[in-house]
Structure 1
Amino acid sequence: MQYVVHAYDYTDEQALDRRMSARPSHLDAVRKLKADGHFITGGALLDDDGRMIGSMVLVDFESEEQLQQWLQNDPYVTGRVWETINVNPFRAVVL
């Protein structure tokens, strides 16, 4: 099952510093997701000035439980980078 994740960062003064501190660990986790066949695509959500304000990730897991296990252990969650996380099932169009 594919899922699209929209995760929005905290907006306090230290939010960007936390994001940048957790970023190397987060990217390592994404590399593992990709190697395990779960990561499809993703990247940073930007504001009008090009500043990172969150993330979008498209993933594939066998169950929502696996998805939640990944989310709860991602460095952007454990490092208090993502404040609001919206997850929706996703189905890609085949043309």
Structure 2
Amino acid sequence: MNRRVPVFAIHCIDKPMQRELRAATRPDHLAYLESAISQVVLAGPLLDEEGAPIGSMLLVEFPDRKAAVSFAAEDPYARAGLFSSVAVTAWRQVLPRID
């Protein structure tokens, strides 16, 4: 089965030395994702070698890139200024195969 709605990868890298800001903003970030859970394919932190968060990666379903960019911009992490970079890119699953 093919997905009916396009999927976008949102790849975010934290600014250096922002663990306290990430921790303080995390409850609002999680609530924001929960409020759009039907559009979230997967979500989780990017980690450094020690397992500490250094960013975020999400796969989300939106009708177009503009909607995905808007969603990323409204994330409480983004609004708090946590990220040094955010990339929103169309994504297509190849493996495992979806029939």
- Give the TM-score of the pair, scaled to structure 1: 0.89
Moved over 4 A (4+): none
Match of residue 60 from structure 2? 59
Letter in 2 for 1:28: A
Query: Which deviations, in whole Å up to 9, do the C-alpha atoms of 1:61-80 show, x marking residues without a partner?
Result: 00112112211111010111
Identity %: 27
Question: What is the one-letter code of the residue matched to 2:27?
Answer: P
Structure 2 alignment gaps of length 5 or more: 1-5
- The Cα of 1:28 is off from its aligned counterpart by 0.2
Would you say the 8 A contact 2:10–2:72 is kept in 1?
Answer: no
Aligned partner of 1:89 in structure 2 is 90
Please say which structure displays the higher CA radius of gyration.
Answer: 2
C-alpha distance in structure 2 between counterparts of 1:51 and 1:33, whole Å: 25
Q: Which runs of 5+ in 1 are unaligned?
A: none
Output the TM-score relative to the length of structure 2.
Answer: 0.86
Structure 1 residues 65-80: aligned runs within 5 Å: 65-80=66-81
Structure 1 counterpart of 2:14, which letter? D
Aligned 1:1-95 pairs, distance under 5 A: 1-12=6-17, 15-34=18-37, 37-93=38-94, 94-95=97-98
What's the CA shift for 1:53?
0.3
